[in-house]
Amino acid sequence: MSSQKSIYAVITGTGSYIPPIVVKNSEFENNVFMNEDGSIIETPGKEITAKFEQITDIIERRIAPDNILTSDMATMAAQEAIDDAGIDKETLDYIIVAHNLGDVKKGTLFSDIIPTLASRVKHNLDIKNPMAVAYDLTFGCPGWTQAMIQANYFIKSGDAKRILVIGADAISRMTDPHDRDIMIFADGASATILEGVESEEPVGMLKHSVRTDAVDYLDLLEMGNSYNPELKGNYLKMLGRKVYNYALSYVPLVAQDCLNKNEMHLKDVSKILIHQANAKMDEAILKRIFRLYGKKEMDSSVMPMTIRNLGNSSVATVPTLFDLILKGKLEGHELKSGDNVMMTSVGAGMNINAFMYKMP
């Protein structure tokens, strides 16, 4: 008697837009950095950037050209994913765009989300099918991973057969030039095509774990005033140390819960694709995950990193990692059929999520 087949959501195409403009740490040495109370930080710029690199491992980041909006980056990543999957774009059932700040024109500090970025992407791609439903999702940096979780439900329920999921942000455009955190953030976009396939064995999107901590940790990432009292506008602000401690406390637990739900052990995981927020933070998180499974020494080879050269592009970091690995562009990392991949992220909300993906 043959086993019954089930519908699973499988990634059939990927694409990324990595902006061409490279901004090195040295370009921030002349910034006038300030404390939260508006007082000037007297430490020389070279010392500030050197300390920053030591803490985050970031030496440069990518920034979108002035004339390119978040929806433009999303469109270019989407087109690459569509081409990679070899599909007819008119057959898409959903277009989901995860982002945080909408379209922000260079120098405006205005977040434009009407119409939605997903509708703009659909327009840019010239998709005429009215049944291709386009909507946005805002969930902090874990937005793309959450959108993938939603898309998985659509496919498994039979509501959809083919979905385009995009993560895109131009975070650099709403950062405070007087806040040292400006050096963390970057721009970028990445996209995946998710399709339903029949299989006797579990494949593609498996089970997930998600949490939101909005009582004690609501304001760790928020929009606020510049540290320069003379500068007016709404800027992205982050309580870096508190974000670090929050992530270190809870991301490992979400990762473990995700593995438990999938009846897996850490040894079953080939790669962990974690949000590229801060290299030292990610390493500390991985170390704690290994400790949860009785391992005193972590195996850093399971955690590919891009933050050193690409910075933190928010919702785009995890799908960009996946895309680069699949296309052989991340040295020392590959994925093969049967590999179990954990994708996990943490960010504003505060939100954390993780899902397992089995390579077809």
Is the model's pLDDT at 30 over the cut of 60? Answer: yes
pLDDT of residue 2: 53
Q: Which CATH superfamily is domain 204-358 in?
A: Thiolase/Chalcone synthase (3.40.47.10)
Taking 70 as the threshold, does the pLDDT of residue 351 lie above it? yes
Q: Do residues 346 and 141 make contact, with C-beta atoms less than 8 angstroms apart?
A: yes
Q: Which tokens in the block code for residue 141?
A: 């940096």
What pLDDT score does 109 carry?
87
- Asked whether the domain spanning 204-358 has the same topology as the one spanning 7-199, the reply is yes
Provide the pLDDT for residue 248: 95
Give CA–CA dist 145/355, Å, rounded: 8
pLDDT digits (tens, 9 = 90+) for 265-301: 999 999 999 999 999 999 999 999 999 999 988 898 9
Helices 279-292 and 240-261 pack at an angle, to 10 degrees, of 40
Helix (H), strand (E) at residue 345: strand 340-347
The DSSP bridge pattern shows strands 60-63 and 21-24 to be antiparallel
In this predicted structure, the answer to whether residue 171 has a pLDDT above a threshold of 60 is yes
- Domain residue spans of the chain: 7-199, 204-358
pLDDT attached to residue 144:
98
**From 80-89, 90-99, 154-163, 293-302, the region with the lowest mean pLDDT:** 293-302
Chain position carrying tokens 């991340």:
330
CATH value of 7-199 in 3.30.56.10, 3.30.10.20, 3.90.180.10, 3.40.47.10: 3.40.47.10
Q: pLDDT tens, 238-263?
A: 998 999 999 999 999 999 999 999 99
For range 122-137, the mean pLDDT = 98
pLDDT at residue 334 tops 80:
yes
